[in-house]
Amino acid sequence: MQPESKLKVQFDFQGIDFEFSKYRRLVDAVNPSVIMFHLHLKDKIFWYLIHWAKYKRIPVICWTKGANLDRPDSKLRYHLFNHFHGLSDALILYSEKQLCYIKPKNRHKVFAANNTLNFGDYPEVGATREQIKREFGIPFEKVVLFVGTMGVDGERKKVEHLIQIFGDLDRHDIGLVIVGSGMSEQLRRRINPRNTKLLGEIHDPQNLQISKIFKAADLFVVPGHVGLGSTQAFYWGLPVVTEDGRQPPEIQYLKSGRNGFLVRENDLAALKEKMLYLLDNDGLRAEFRRHAREDIFKEASIENMFQSFKSAVEFALSKKADLKRARPEAEPIAV
């Protein structure tokens, strides 16, 4: 859905100015059975629409993390989240681990949909790792890969930690490849050109180029906020190394010591140590690669995510109709 993306949108999509009156007219025209919200609390239109939907008796589902995970201790945000949790007919969480942010009285309407990607969209990559490296001009024997948008929310992905580590790394066989937009000029000037290659944004209609980059890598390292990039890395069998801290829900897929490592927040020495430990131990890295693939297919299937959404819709509709019927196949999380 990003403007720069070349992926084709495969559903009925309408881009509408962020104005309450226009969305209200759209809802009246479409007459939906359910409205699902995926907005920020700071978006005024969210508060207008959710109260208006309740007035119109349209079931409301909120897809949410349950709290602002970057500011979980904010009392104001806590009360605002609890207010819309109560208004919602069903809640979809990114994982069961966010259940702690939901008050017990609202937990009966919670469905967990482990956040993931549709792995069926990824293409087969026939090129070898060496062929891919030559195509992108990557000279390194072993590759540490960083993928993500930089310069967001106070540089939450912490790419500067990798730039600092590789700035002093005296190894000719290991290199860092950075993919993504938003890097500041200040950080660009700090890059060590001997062992770091900045590729910028990579978009193509088939996701082929970015898939090649993942295939060519040996390790995926995003020191902060790993996001769905880690899910993509696990799909390609890449161990993940990151830091503890205010990580997003996708951190649940990382099993430290099995498919990657989680080190203390801002501990650059430990981050460097675990990276080199995996890169220098081919047998252990191969074991971690197997675990990465096994774990992500087990815990992050798109089918399970879809089923949770479907069950949340059925639950919300059952509340509207006030029907006494059997629970959906994917039951709400037990308290």
Tell me: the pLDDT tens digits for 193-238?
A: 999 999 999 988 788 999 999 999 999 999 999 999 999 999 999 9
What mean pLDDT value characterizes the chain?
A: 91
* Reported pTM: 0.89
Q: Within the chain, which residue ranges are assigned CATH 3.40.50.2000?
A: 119-299
**Burial state string for 99-111 with b = 16 or more CB within 10 A and e = fewer than 16:** bebbeeebeebbb
Task: Please check whether residue 117 is in contact with residue 231, taking contact to mean a CB–CB distance below 8 angstroms.
Answer: yes
pLDDT band at 325 (very low <50, low <70, confident <90, very high): very low
Class (C level, CATH) for 119-299: alpha beta
Q: What pLDDT is recorded for position 39?
A: 85
Which tens digits make up the pLDDT trace of 135-154? Answer: 999 999 999 999 999 998 88
CATH number of this structure's domain 20-116+302-321: 3.40.50
* Strands lying side by side in the sheet with 142-147: 196-200, 174-179, 142-147, 219-221, 240-243, 260-263
